[in-house]
Chains A and B, each alone.
Chain A
Amino acid sequence: MTAPDDRESILSRVRGALAPLHERAPLPDYSTEIAVMRSLVAGRDLVELLGERMKRVNGLALTEVAALVAHLRAGGWLHGYCDPVLWPRLAPHFGAELKVETEFDRTRVDDYAFGITRAAGAIAESGTLILHDATTSRRLAALTPWVHVAVVERAQIFSDLPQAVAALGRDPNVIWCTGPSKTADVEGILIEGVHGPGQQIALVLG
């Protein structure tokens, strides 16, 4: 499908452009430690730090299912989706008032006020949720509802960015979510909930 001549001609132009260089710039050796806000993360309880840092980016971290249910009730978000793998663990805390589906129907995206999916981890330093393709039940369910809740296991919280980068692994689509979807395109004014969730919540369990 690709025109094979473009590959060769581009690479040959690259080689031609670099040929006159007597030496090439070396790759510097460094420790990624220099990009860590070390004073922030040193010696901290990671759940507590995650909560603080999520708050800074207008996210929310909860540690009790009951607190999540209260939050959803208070906001009037009464109809949503939950990953079927998580549902047995959460269902006992959800009253009949909340309508929860464990199948996501993409023809009715606007029906779901909240979506609960599994996180593969979190980054305390930046207040970030980590989603992997293999463990997120539906990409759309973590994106289209106004409230996204990611369930994080306590043991899966990384302290900083370089640690999380080192653990990217083999999943073809890893996504870091740091706070709600937002824009400042109109006169630089911050508005949340553009295409994705207006609320990004971590439910830390375990």
Chain B
Amino acid sequence: MRFQQFDQFAAELKADTRAAVYDGSKKGHEKRTKLLFDEYPDPNRLRHLAGEIKQHVIENLDTYLPAVEAKMKANGVQVHWAGTAEAANEAVLRIMRARGATKLVKAKTMVSEETELAAFLEKHGIEALETDLGEFIVQIDGDHPSHIVKPIIHKNRREIAQSFEREGLGAYNDDPATITQRARKFLRHKYLVADVGLTGANFVSAESGRMVLVTNEGNSRFCLAATKCHIAMIGIEKIVPRDYDLALFLNLLARSATAQELTVYTEFISGPKSPVQPDGPEVMHVIFVDNGRTEVLASTCREILRCIRCGACLNVCPVYRQASGHAYRSVYPGPVGAVLSPLLMGDKFPQKADLPKASSLCGACNEVCPVNIPIPDLLLRLRNRAKEENVPSPGTPPMGAWALLASQPLAWRASLLGGKLIDYVPTKLIPVPALQAWAAKRALPAWRGGEFRKWLKARRK
């Protein structure tokens, strides 16, 4: 029996990793629900509205993008455009070389994960240090984040303590407060000697050209207090129409991502520092990154571009909780990743065409989404695309016999009667590998075929 890569990964996952991911995501989801429903009479209305606003933006990017660019330039920002991951990384390198800069500190940005910026810069002799605690640990371990908001949800404190010991950050100590203090001490001097602070953006207001950045740790603020040059890498879909809309989105983002009313540090940045301010960037660059987004915009799944990267769909997903983020082999795991990751592959879609199948289509992801993305619908559209493009699908049971029965009323009725036999045949003997794999861990219920038809007939009489 051949498995999909995804199933294989989930089957081999270490028990304590699975437990860490399960507990972490469940806790996040429960806190979020309580917070939203305690305070707002109708939280559903907020997320439907936010979804409509983002849908409006992505369907009008042709006017919003030039408008944002013009505002930013008027605010003194240098605007660049990068079609691909390589172009985005090259743009950062060009800016750094032009300044003679060799050290960069970076806050957490998903788009720089897409472009693998830190590794690219290191290869070109530039020190690129992650400053978010979780991302820092991922970086020293040569690992990858497994969650959009909680990058090391898959690691426990003992593993982290070992990494710190190995990196010379102190003798083994797995107390989370000690781990955090050691990172604080180590990183603050790194910020102070860095030339460039790199961030992403959570939102960009088209009205003012202001970008909004949220962090709990304050690391992005430190990046922008210690360095003289700010580079922001921003996906082209990050726009909201007006400053007015920010209150709604900030409320939804903090609650959905971390079950907070507001993230600790919320920065509204419209350009280089004020002339009277001694600290912070004198120069600000924005790089607008496409990297496959325009292709998503042209697809039948453009709703996924509404995503504000909160991670709520990961936390609620029964498949994610069992499989962990690395099972998705992508920067974006979970339900959002099952849609976005194959789409961002472009021509290489078949390589990740199994991800949309890593879902029971239970719909929980749609219900929690703060921008109301119909994720289950999008998963179905992508499954359909994989079928149309004849992407092989190992492990999928053959459906030909079922299709034959379902389209021949006589055969169907006969099979409903004959199906009773299955109660007496050990399922292990049925020569369908997919069924055997399924039945290895589950028992079939007693056969009830035909009962619905009987009920319906009786009702008609």
Contacts and interface: CB of A to CB of B under 8 A. Distances in A.
Interface string A168-182: 100111111111111
B171 interface: no
A194 B52 contact: no
A185 B87 contact: no
Interface stretch (A43-51, A72-80, A90-98, A133-141): A133-141
Nearest to B191: A195
Interface string A128-147: 10001110101110011000
B261 interface: yes
Interface in A93-131: 106, 109-110, 126, 128
Nearest to B274: A133
Contacts of B187: 195
Contacts of A196: 217-218, 221-222, 264-265
B262 A173 contact: no
A172 B279 contact: no
A187 B20 contact: yes
B59 A21 contact: yes
Contacts of B396: none
A187 B156 contact: yes
Nearest to B41: A39
B389 to A, nearest CB: 20
Given A140-B225, A185-B150, A186-B160, A175 B268 contact: yes
A14 B75 contact: no
Chain B interface size, under 10 / 10 to 19 / 20 to 34 / 35 or more: 35 or more
Given A1-B94, A161-B247, A191-B176, A143 B218 contact: yes
A138 B279 contact: yes
B256 interface: no
A17 B297 contact: yes
B341 interface: no
B232 interface: no
Given A138-B279, A140-B226, A185-B134, A24 B78 contact: no
B390 interface: no
A178 B133 CA distance: 19
Nearest to B251: A35
Contacts of A3: 81, 87, 91
Contacts of A194: 133, 180, 183-184, 216-219
A17 B298 CA distance: 4
Contacts of B28: 188
B65 interface: yes
Contacts of A134: 274, 276-277
Interface stretch (A25-33, A63-71, A149-157): A25-33
Contact of A195 (B45, B46, B222, B288): B222
Interface in A2-35: 2-3, 6-7, 9-11, 13-18, 21, 24-28, 30, 32, 34-35
A195 B262 contact: no
Interface of B: 20, 23-24, 27-28, 39-40, 45-46, 49, 52-53, 55-56, 59-62, 65-66, 75-76, 78-83, 87, 91, 94-95, 98, 131-134, 137, 150-153, 156-157, 160, 176-177, 179-181, 183-184, 187-188, 191-192, 208, 210, 216-219, 221-222, 224-226, 236, 241, 243-244, 246-248, 250-251, 258, 260-274, 276-280, 288, 290, 294-295, 297-298, 302
20 contacts: A7-B81, A9-B83, A13-B294, A28-B49, A106-B192, A128-B266, A132-B274, A134-B276, A139-B273, A144-B222, A161-B262, A171-B274, A172-B269, A175-B268, A176-B262, A177-B265, A184-B216, A185-B133, A187-B24, A193-B181
The 8 residue pairs across chains A and B that have the minimum distance between CB atoms: A196-B218, A17-B298, A13-B294, A139-B225, A139-B279, A185-B134, A133-B274, A181-B218
Interface of A: 1-3, 6-7, 9-11, 13-18, 21, 24-28, 30, 32, 34-37, 40, 57, 106, 109-110, 126, 128, 132-134, 136, 138-140, 143-144, 160-162, 164-166, 168, 171-189, 191, 193-197
